[in-house]
Chain A
């Protein structure tokens, strides 16, 4: 059997493109708007979310037979909140400047619907290995969109890539101007909308 036909492969790759959490399922838009002004914050946010999502899926899947049905949402949220606070503490210890820029949005990973959604619909009913893959896949799917939007917004909004000026001064001298709209939230909305459109068009074929 080819690798691309295995179940594990499908679990991992479907959320990256076909049912991408942002452009396919339209989840987790809030943070995607907030942290994508610069590529750097977008990447750190992606890493934090992928970490939380992978771990929460794994842990909840490991406990899925123990968790009492009537308090399962509370249990899921406790696990997710613990992981998020842990990620926040690590960022504060080692990437202080970025953690300041991300401000409350790391804490808000707790309320990101992607994580609770995957825990409820996938991890509770599937074995640990597949849940872990599903978590990483969804995390990478989210990251992929965040990074694309981040690159686009930083380039169009500030003329920079990863903090380095890429549009030469000569352009500005000749009358080129940064697109102010891209720095604001509507810019991210438009960018995400275009990505959804592109994705829907491509995957139809």
Chain B
């Protein structure tokens, strides 16, 4: 057998064996991983409305308890009405944060483009339909230390108290500034911007666009909250 054929054969067999083993590992561990991901998403929902503190660790049961006590998954139809079941293809998921049977805030799942991949997280808006109560990211592919800072508390904390409306009460969304808000943004608009991450202008740009697109889709719901139609 020539040296050339031997190399090709060896490479083929090795790839097959390695590929097979990896497939086995990933299918075998899939259930555990999915469970972890679900728990992590629930944790992020709770974090966006301030029910979990960042530094503490919580048991799975504690998270499940908090979640079932305070969070209801609902759907929004195209007129902005909240319905318990998904009906049409255009209905959007929303999580309601309940306190003493009142809706304290609503949580919108965010799917945005990032620089290197998808960014997924949650944005919680208070029941006035305008003020942001929290923002979290549970999955992204951005560069650690640069765009990856979007998962850090200092960045997410800046969203708290910002609003998606301008002075006239029109929808403008919330965006990430290039640089700091104080230095770059005129006074009247500062409440619509959060501090950017230095070295990650593109991540900020994509995330701003993603937030605007998503918030725009949920605008009928936000309007109802602003007109006090949902309690």
Contact = CB atoms under 8 A, between A and B. Distances in A.
Contacts of B37: 96
Interface residues of A, number: 25
Interface string B1-20: 00100110011001100100
Contacts of A103: 144, 148
Given A34-B144, A78-B14, A71 B29 contact: no
Interface in A82-109: 82, 85-86, 89-90, 92-94, 96-97, 100, 103-105
Contact of B33 (A67, A68, A92): A92
B10 A68 contact: yes
A68 B3 contact: yes
Nearest to A34: B144
Interface string B26-43: 100100110011011000
Interface residues of B, number: 21
B146 interface: no
B154 to A, nearest CB: 12
Contacts of B66: none
Given A79-B18, A86-B21, A93 B33 contact: yes
B25 interface: yes
B145 to A, nearest CB: 8
B48 to A, nearest CB: 17
Contacts of B7: 68, 70-71
A92 B29 contact: yes
Contact of B18 (A68, A82, A92, A100): A82
B22 interface: yes
A174 interface: no
A75 interface: yes
B149 to A, nearest CB: 12
B12 to A, nearest CB: 11
A70 B21 CA distance: 25
Interface of A: 34, 66-68, 70-71, 74-75, 78-79, 81-82, 85-86, 89-90, 92-94, 96-97, 100, 103-105
* Smallest CB-CB A-B distances: 9 pairs: A93-B32, A96-B36, A93-B29, A68-B7, A82-B18, A92-B33, A93-B33, A71-B7, A89-B25
